Every structure is written in C-alpha cells, then in structure tokens.
Amino acid sequence: MSWYYTPHPTVVPAEDFDASADANALRKAMKGFGTDEQAIIDILCARSNAQRQEIAEAFKRELGRDLIDDLKSELGGKFEDVILGLMLRPEAYLCKQLHKAMDGIGTNEKALIEIICPQTNDQIKAIVDCYEEMYDRPLAEHLCSETDGSFRR
C-alpha cells in the first residue's frame, strides 16, 4: 500500500455521449421563459471537460449560437461563475485564477502555490502559453512583478 494519495478524476467521460443531443437539450433548457437550471446541471456536471468542449462546438455548429454567451445571458451570480468555469479548458481556468490571484492590491501567494506547484512541466507550458494568449502578457513577467524576495526566486 502506498503512503501517498494518488488523485483520481471524479468526473469521467459520460458513456453514450452525444454532443449534438446535449447541445439541443441545453438550448431547450435556456429557450423561452425561464431557465431550467437543473437540466444545465444534469448535462454539464456529468460530462468531462473534453465532452463539454465538444458540446460547445456542436452548439455553435448546429444552432449557430455561442453556448458561453447564452449561459451568461441566462444565469447569474455564483451559479453562473461555476457553470462558466466548467466550460473553460483546464489551462484557461487556471490562468483565470492566476490572474485573479495577482489582480489588484496584494497577491494571493497561497493561490499561486496551489495552482502552479502540482503541475507537470507539460501542464506548466500549456498554462504559460494560454496565459500570454489570454492576457497578452508573459506569466513569468506578471509573477515577477507581483512577488519579491525568496518567494519570487
């Protein structure tokens, strides 16, 4: 028996996945008066991130609409934040959290550690590339401007 914890994903790809059917079900949940929030939860929370990306593509391709824009217009508050977070690619979500940790007065160093330290080299590369694409600024430059001393090193 190993003495360390090996994480296992809690959301695995759904079996019998049909991106087109999910896209249409999401549109139905948001169309008309009111929003069927439970339907949105049932679909998006039971799909892997890759499957959610496929749903967004099917939504655009088949319905001619942007799923993110529709979700933003139908949802609000913390529920909107969670659902939109689920729709981001993992590296984009982490970039958003890194930026948030360094935005404004003070830097949330604990958040920086929690986000950066567990990543593999390949994951770090993806995050670095994504950060520059999202914020038009190198991540290393932003980190250096927000940290100092031994923490920066």
Residue 24: per-residue pLDDT: 97
SS3 content of the chain, % helix, strand, coil (to 5): 65, 0, 35
pLDDT at 53: 96
pLDDT tens digits, one per residue of 40-67: 999 999 999 999 999 999 999 999 999 9
Mean pLDDT within 24-34:
92
Would you state the pLDDT for residue 143?
92
Q: Report the percent of the chain where pLDDT is more than 90.
A: 80
Ranges of each domain in the chain: 19-87, 90-146
Distances (CA, A) of 122 to 10, 18, 33, 91, 131: 22, 30, 45, 11, 14
Are 19-87 and 90-146 equal in CATH topology?
yes
What are the tens digits of pLDDT across the range 105-153? Answer: 889 999 999 999 999 999 999 999 999 999 999 999 999 998 888 888 8
Which of residues 59 and 33 earns the better pLDDT score?
Answer: 59
Q: What is the DSSP letter of 6?
A: -
Q: Give the model's confidence band at 1: pLDDT under 50 very low, under 70 low, under 90 confident, else very high.
A: very low
Which helix (H) or strand (E) covers residue 43, if one does? helix 37-44
Q: Quick one: CATH architecture of 90-146? A: Orthogonal Bundle (1.10)
Identify the CA nearest to 79 among candidates 87, 58, 33.
Answer: 87
What global pTM score does this model have? 0.80
Rounded Cα gap, residues 60 and 134, in angstroms: 21
Q: What is the per-residue pLDDT for 70? A: 96
CATH superfamily of 19-87: Annexin (1.10.220.10)
Average pLDDT over every residue of 97-108: 92
Residue type, 104: G
